[in-house]
Structures are given as structure tokens and as C-alpha cells.
Amino acid sequence: MPRRKILRINADELPIFRELSEILYEHPVFRDCDFTTIEIVAKKRNPDPQIADVEKHIRKLERFICNNGNRNAGKKELCKIIGISRPSLNKWIDDELISKGKMKEVYAGNQSFDLKTVLEELKIQLDRK
């Protein structure tokens, strides 16, 4: 993922520069600072997480459900069905593109996903585009 762009502006270009420098001068940390060099730095926001090629993943999952019926699948099997890597699936879960609440605990702490529910959540992502 690319780094977020950093935006910089010199504070002396702002109409509130004089008030800003007075407020900062009153703070004990900034008493011995030169306020002609005030710079304001901001990072751009990260874009909302999205699933790339969501249509392709929907088609693969629909085809699998059509051929095999709706059932539960573990993380490894779900990744194989829709053609993504395990880290990608974990990122989708972390970004709440696929909700953890829909997973079911099975043996030994492994989780299982209801395929129709995953399909519905992928279609929601398609609508958001």
C-alpha cells in the first residue's frame, strides 16, 4: 500500500498567523522558538477499504454454490473458492468487509463461513463501488 501523501503549508501564509504565533508563544514549550518558521503538516486520509475485482470473486462464489450447494467453509477453503490469498481474507475481515459475526466456531478454534452470507457481503461491496 502506498504511503499517504503529506501536505505542508507555511503558517505565515494564513490570515490567522499572528493569532496562532501569539497562542503558541504563551505555551511554555514554545517560549524560545522562532515563529517565522511555523509549518503545518497534514497527512491525507486513507481511502475506504475496497475489494479489487469484486465481480470476479462473486462469480466464482456463485458458481461454487450452484455446483456444490450452500455450506460452511473454513478460511483456507474460502480463499481457494474465491481465488484470494489467506492474508487478503484476513485483511477483508480486519477492514470489516466480511464480518466476523457471520463466522462460526468449529473444532479446535477454527472458523467457518456460511458461503451465502459471504456472497451477500461481497454484493454489498459491489453496490458501494
Predicted confidence (pLDDT) at residue 117 exceeds the cutoff of 80:
yes
- Return the domain boundaries, the chain: 6-43, 54-128
Please give the CATH topology (third level) of the domain spanning 54-128. Multidrug-efflux Transporter Regulator; Chain: A; Domain 2 (1.10.1660)
pLDDT in tens, 36-71: 888 999 988 777 777 888 899 999 999 999 999 988
Number of CB atoms found within 10 A of residue 124's CB: 12
Question: What is the rounded distance in angstroms from the CA atom of residue 17 to the CA atom of residue 21?
Answer: 6
pLDDT reported for residue 99? 77
- The better pLDDT of the pair 91, 100 is held by 91
